Amino acid sequence: MAVLSSHPDTEQTQAAAGALPRIRRYLDEHTEALASVPVLVEDSQEELLLPREAVELLAGVLAHMAAGRGVSVVPDHAELTTQQAADMLNVSRPYLIGLLQAGEIDYRKVGTHRRIQASSLMEYMRRDDQRRREAADELSAMTRELGLD
């Protein structure tokens, strides 16, 4: 798992904040699947050909850095410990184990230890976000029906 320092320093935050609008503008103007992104390396200009998804990921990383937040990049195939998965969900380890035992998140056992594939954890996070959005929409509809808006 690649991890950026817990919080970017002021120089990194400013650099990210300066680059972010340029990357976003580039993405808005170039919709092709592969993007040739001019990158300044030291004192020489090189062009790198990057997949659009990589440039979009870079924009996301820059947005977090510009806000002073650290970033973790986890490959889909990575296996996480229960503590790592709980940290990513921002829940306690015992709560996560309850989710595993309830079948909410796929996992496997290695000896006595549980391992969660990052893609399974991300799928759970997507489903959970969808459930939350649906619940919020339902509450909004009830509010409108009752004339409380």
The two tokens of residue 92 are 């306690």
Nearest to 16 by CA among 65, 57, 71: 65
pLDDT at 4 over 70: no
- Which pLDDT value is given to residue 52? 84
Give residue 2's pLDDT band: very low, low, confident or very high (50, 70, 90): low
Model pLDDT for residues 44-69, shown as the tens digit of each residue: 777 777 888 888 999 999 999 999 99
pTM across the whole model: 0.70
Which pLDDT tens digit goes with each residue over 74-106?
Answer: 888 999 999 999 999 999 999 999 999 999 999
| pLDDT tens column, 7-44 | 888 999 999 999 999 999 988 888 887 766 767 777 77
Start and end residues for every CATH 1.10.10 domain found in the chain: 79-145
Q: How far apart are CA 64 and CA 81, in angstroms?
A: 24
Most distant pair of Cα atoms in the chain: their distance: 64
Whether 3 shows a pLDDT value over 70: the answer reads: no
Amino acid at 74: V
What is residue 22's DSSP assignment?
H
Rounded Cα distance, 84 and 17, in Å: 29
73 strand-pairing partners: 2
What is the model's pLDDT at position 72?
Answer: 82
Identify how many contiguous H helices and E strands the chain contains and give both numbers.
5, 7
Q: 95, 135 in Cβ contact below 8 A?
A: no
Closest Cα to residue 20, out of 54, 66, 67, 57?
A: 66
Who wins on pLDDT, 135 or 6?
Answer: 135
Write down the pLDDT at residue 71.
86
- For domain 79-145, the CATH architecture is Orthogonal Bundle (1.10)
